[in-house]
Amino acid sequence: MKNKKMKIARLERDLNQEDLAKIVGVTRQTISLIESGAYNPSLKLCIAICKALGKTLDDLFWEVEK
């Protein structure tokens, strides 16, 4: 279950994974693994990513589809 919404929001802001990683204070791999759905980030990290991308938790991490 990839996180496509997060990837789209990142691209909308013209950021690559490394840029975003630097902004939120993690490594590029962590961003990559979250986008590819390989692991579940902590709430703090989710919030940092949302703020960096100008989105909310529901925007990026809430699954509408059942």
Partner DNA sequence: GCGGTATGTAAAATATATTTGACATTCTGC
Partner DNA sequence: GCAGAATGTCAAATATATTTTACATACCGC
Does the footprint of a second copy cover residue 14 (CB under 8 A)? no
Interface with DNA in residues 1-60 (CB under 7 A): 16-18, 25-30, 32-36, 38-42, 44-45
Beta-carbon contacts of 19 under 8 Å, excluding residues fewer than 6 positions away, are none
CB of 24 to a second copy, least distance (A): 14
Does the footprint of a second copy cover residue 33 (CB under 8 A)? no
Give the range of 7-15, 16-24, 25-33, 36-44 binding a second copy by CB under 8 A: 36-44
Buried b / exposed e over 11-39, threshold 16 CB at 10 Å, is eeeebebeebbebbebeeebbeebbeeee
